[in-house]
Amino acid sequence: METNSLIFLTNELFLRQSELFGDDYKNLENNSTHTFNELSISNLEDWQNSILQKYPVLNELQIENLQNFLISLSEILETINPEKLKISEDLLLEETDLLLWRESHNGISKLFFNEYGDITYVFNGNNGRKIRGVFNNNVDYEKLIYKFLSL
Amino acid sequence: MICNLDYIPLHLHTNDQPIIDQFYIGEKLFYRCKPENLTKPYDNISLYDISHNRDFNNAQTFTENDVFYNIIEGDLREKYDDLNFISFHIKNLSKGKHTYIKHLAIEDLTATIILKHAPVPCMYPHSVLEILINGVVINNENYKTELGKKNQKFSTLRNLIRQELSSIVQTGFIDDSFEIEEITDL
CA distance A130 to chain B (A): 5
Cross-chain CB nearest to B181 (options A108, A131, A139): A131
- Tens-place pLDDT, residues A119-151: 999 999 999 999 999 999 899 999 999 899 888
Q: A123, A148 in Cβ contact below 8 A?
A: no
pLDDT at residue A124, rounded to an integer? 97
Which residues on B lie below 8 Å from A92 (Cβ)? 43-44
pLDDT at A37 over 60: no
Annotate B100-122 with DSSP letters as a single string. Answer: -EEEEEETTEEEEEEEEE--BTT
Q: A107, A100 in Cβ contact below 8 A?
A: no
Q: Is the peptide bond before B119 cis (omega within 30 degrees of 0)?
A: no
Contact (CB<8Å) B44/A116 = no
Contact (CB<8Å) A146/B186 = yes
Q: Side chain identity at A54, as an amino acid letter?
A: K
pTM of the model: 0.84
| Smallest CA–CA distance from A110 into chain B, residue | B41
Mean pLDDT (chain B, rounded)? 93
pLDDT at B76 over 80: yes
* Residue B55 to residue B65: CA distance in whole angstroms: 11
- Tens-place pLDDT, residues B163-186: 999 999 999 999 998 999 999 988
pLDDT at B89 over 70: yes
| Smallest CA–CA distance from B171 into chain A, residue | A126
Q: What percent of chain B has pLDDT over 70?
A: 100
- Tens-place pLDDT, residues B90-133: 999 988 899 999 999 999 999 999 999 999 999 999 999 999 99
| Smallest CA–CA distance from A145 into chain B, residue | B186
Q: B21, B98 in Cβ contact below 8 A?
A: yes
pLDDT at A45 over 80: yes
pLDDT at residue A30, rounded to an integer? 39
* Residue B164 to residue B25: CA distance in whole angstroms: 19
Beta strands A97-103 and A107-113, pairing class: antiparallel
To test the contact with chain A by mutation, choose from B88, B93, B167, B178 the residue with the greatest count of A C-beta atoms within 10 A, namely: B167
pLDDT at residue A9, rounded to an integer? 63
Cβ contacts below 8 Å, chain A against chain B, sum to 85
As a whole number, mean pLDDT of residues B139-162 equals 94
Q: What percent of chain A has pLDDT over 70?
A: 68
Q: How confident is the model at residue A82 (pLDDT cuts 50, 70, 90)?
A: low
Contact (CB<8Å) B152/A144 = no
Q: How confident is the model at residue A34 (pLDDT cuts 50, 70, 90)?
A: very low
Say yes or no: A119 contacts chain B, CB-CB below 8 A: no
Q: How confident is the model at residue A38 (pLDDT cuts 50, 70, 90)?
A: very low
> Domain-by-domain residue ranges, chain B?
10-179
Contact (CB<8Å) B43/A110 = yes
| Smallest CA–CA distance from A135 into chain B, residue | B184
- Tens-place pLDDT, residues A95-121: 889 999 999 999 999 999 999 999 999
pLDDT at B20 over 50: yes
Cross-chain CB nearest to A108 (options B41, B160, B175): B41
Say yes or no: A84 contacts chain B, CB-CB below 8 A: no
Residues in A 47-76 with any Cβ partner in B closer than 8 A: none
